[in-house]
C-alpha cells in the first residue's frame, strides 16, 4: 500500500545550523631588521658589488639566515677575518638548510643582507676583501 506524504518532516524544514569556526590569526610579522652595512648601501653600490672579486653570491633561491638558529649569534660579522671553507650563512631552499662557505681567505668587509630575507640566484650576499 502506498501512502502519500503531504507534509515534510520537521527536521527537513529547518535550516541547517551554521557553525562558525574561529580561525586563529597569526601575529603580524615585523620586517627583519637590516644590518648596518646593508642599510647604508645605495642600490647602485650594491649592483657594483656584483663585479667585486670577493663577492659571495647566492647559489640558489631561498631564505638567508646569518645564524644557525633564531636568537643565536651570526656565523660572521663585518670586519671579521674569514678562512676559505668557513660557514658564512645558511640558505633554506625546499626545507633544506644549505651552508654557504667562504670561497677564499680575507676580511668580511660587507654583509649586504639581513637574516630571514629571501634571496635570488646570483644575488651578492657578502663581500670578502
pLDDT over 70 at 62, yes or no: yes
Q: Give which of 11, 10, 101, 2 is closest to 58, Cα–Cα.
A: 101
* Grid coordinates of 98: 644549505
Looking at residue 37, its pLDDT comes to 43
Looking at residue 34, its pLDDT comes to 42
Stretch (H or E) spanning 65: strand 62-65
Question: Looking at residues 74-88, what average pLDDT do you find?
Answer: 96
Q: How far apart are CA 120 and CA 125, in angstroms?
A: 10
For 32-128, CATH number out of 1.10.1740.10, 3.40.50.1220, 3.30.70.360, 2.40.50.100 equals 2.40.50.100
Task: Give 88's pLDDT tier (boundaries 50, 70, 90).
Answer: very high
Domain extents for the chain?
A: 32-128
pTM for this one?
A: 0.65
pLDDT over 60 at 16, yes or no: no
Task: Give 49's pLDDT tier (boundaries 50, 70, 90).
Answer: confident
Share the mean pLDDT of the chain: 79
* Grid coordinates of 49: 658589488
Question: Looking at residues 41-68, what average pLDDT do you find?
Answer: 83
pLDDT over 70 at 55, yes or no: yes
Amino acid at each position: 500500500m502506498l501512502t502519500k506524504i503531504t507534509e515534510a518532516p520537521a527536521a527537513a524544514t529547518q535550516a541547517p545550523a551554521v557553525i562558525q569556526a574561529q580561525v586563529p590569526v597569526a601575529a603580524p610579522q615585523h620586517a627583519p631588521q637590516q644590518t648596518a652595512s646593508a642599510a647604508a648601501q645605495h642600490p647602485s653600490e650594491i649592483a657594483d658589488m656584483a663585479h667585486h672579486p670577493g663577492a659571495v653570491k647566492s647559489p640558489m633561491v631561498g631564505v638567508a639566515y646569518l645564524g644557525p638558529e633564531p636568537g643565536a649569534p651570526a656565523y660572521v660579522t663585518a670586519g671579521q677575518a674569514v678562512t676559505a671553507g668557513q660557514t658564512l650563512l645558511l640558505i633554506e631552499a625546499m626545507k633544506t638548510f644549505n651552508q654557504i662557505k667562504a670561497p677564499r681567505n680575507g676580511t668580511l668587509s660587507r654583509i649586504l643582507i639581513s637574516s630571514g630575507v629571501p634571496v635570488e640566484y646570483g644575488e651578492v650576499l657578502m663581500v670578502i676583501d
